[in-house]
Amino acid sequence: MAGTAGAVWVSDAASGQLLRLDPTTGKVVAKTPLDPTPCAITVAYGSLWIVTQSTVLDRVDPRTGRVVATVRVGSVSYQAVATPGAIWVSNRSDRTLSRVDPRTNRVTATVATPDIQPGGMAYAEGALWIGDDTDGGHDILRMNPTTHAMTRFAAGQRPAYLAATADAVFVSDVRAGTVTKLDARTGHILATARAGDSPVNLAVRSGARPEVWVPDDTGGHVVRLDAATGKATEVIDVSGKGPAVVAAIRGDIWVTMFTAGEVWRIRPAAR
């Protein structure tokens, strides 16, 4: 899920489509066929980049809703992240990252991630941070996007999904049921907060007091964290809905409810 001017975009894995929602009414106003099993959506370089789990990255023009390029990447890709001059894609089954040049829509580098099944990623302090979607995994990687040099940091149990503020990286520790806050310069752990039974695709809501919102997919909650302290400030019960992905769009929090086949819009209370 992602937002652009006048639109909220949602990928539907089952039907292989990109849905365009009117952010005011919440109604689906357009559908775009994609390659099979579309997953995460990234807004960058004037386009929507939709990772699919069929070895293809689809590039969509948000003005027309049409696919303008398809890029062959790796197997069972999960997420795309923008860095200066590039789009990086995590390929879980290949245990690699693909670097895509947005000017040519071509892969210019394939980087192995030893002992890591790359899942979620984030860009902070000039580095690409890569989560490990492996059962039994405990570390994440920080990679220099130019030299591809990597450093490993401990970050919980199955630290699969990441989000970043200007100076911190937040990691969903799926097995531990926590979110860990790391210093983006040093990788040191700054805080750990309970976030349900199985916290997954977290996202940052920017502003004067940034927040991190976390879906707890099996526990049936959406958890709100204070980004400064890394501590939980609110837990919203959505039992039976299967919250899977959150996105902060124009001040509101949009949540995909995987089990229910719904998208919710939450207006956070002022703090």
Out of 92, 112, 132, a domain closes at: 112
pLDDT at 244: 96
265 and 212, same domain (yes or no): yes
Give the total number of structural domains in the chain: 2
Out of 91, 112, 133, a domain closes at: 112
Token pair of 45 as six digits: 């370089």
- Contact yes or no for 122/157 (Cβ under 8 A): no
83 and 139, same domain (yes or no): no
pLDDT at 46: 97
Give, as one character, the DSSP assignment of residue 55. S
- Contact yes or no for 172/214 (Cβ under 8 A): yes
Average pLDDT of the chain to the nearest whole number: 96
pLDDT (tens digit per residue) in 173-188: 999 999 999 999 999 9
Backbone angles phi, psi at 15, to 5 degrees: -95, -10
pLDDT (tens digit per residue) in 183-211: 999 999 999 999 999 999 999 999 889 99
Residues near 216 by beta carbon (within 8 Å), at least 6 away in sequence:
177, 195, 196, 197, 198, 199, 200, 222, 223, 243
122 and 96, same domain (yes or no): no
**Rounded distance between C-alpha atoms, residue 201 and residue 246, angstroms:** 7
Out of 112, 142, 171, a domain closes at: 112
Tokens 């559908």 locate to 31
Q: What share of the chain is helix, strand, coil (3-state, %, to 5)?
A: 0, 60, 40
195 and 128, same domain (yes or no): yes
pLDDT band at 144 (very low <50, low <70, confident <90, very high): very high
Residue span of the structural domain in which 32 resides? 1-112
69 and 151, same domain (yes or no): no
84 and 121, same domain (yes or no): no
Strand arrangement of the beta sheet that strand 203-205 belongs to? 203-205, 211-216, 221-226, 231-237
**Rounded distance between C-alpha atoms, residue 176 and residue 164, angstroms:** 20
Strand arrangement of the beta sheet that strand 77-83 belongs to? 77-83, 86-91, 96-101, 106-112
186 and 255, same domain (yes or no): yes
128 and 244, same domain (yes or no): yes
106 and 120, same domain (yes or no): no
**Rounded distance between C-alpha atoms, residue 164 and residue 108, angstroms:** 25
pLDDT at 205: 96
201 and 266, same domain (yes or no): yes
pLDDT at 118: 97
**Rounded distance between C-alpha atoms, residue 197 and residue 192, angstroms:** 14
- Contact yes or no for 267/254 (Cβ under 8 A): no
Res. 135: pLDDT tops 90 = no
pLDDT (tens digit per residue) in 75-92: 999 999 999 999 999 999
222 and 269, same domain (yes or no): yes
Residues near 133 by beta carbon (within 8 Å), at least 6 away in sequence:
78, 92, 117, 118, 119, 120, 158, 160
pLDDT band at 271 (very low <50, low <70, confident <90, very high): confident
CATH number of the domain where residue 65 is located: 2.130.10.10
87 and 35, same domain (yes or no): yes
Other beta carbons less than 10 A from residue 86's beta carbon: 21
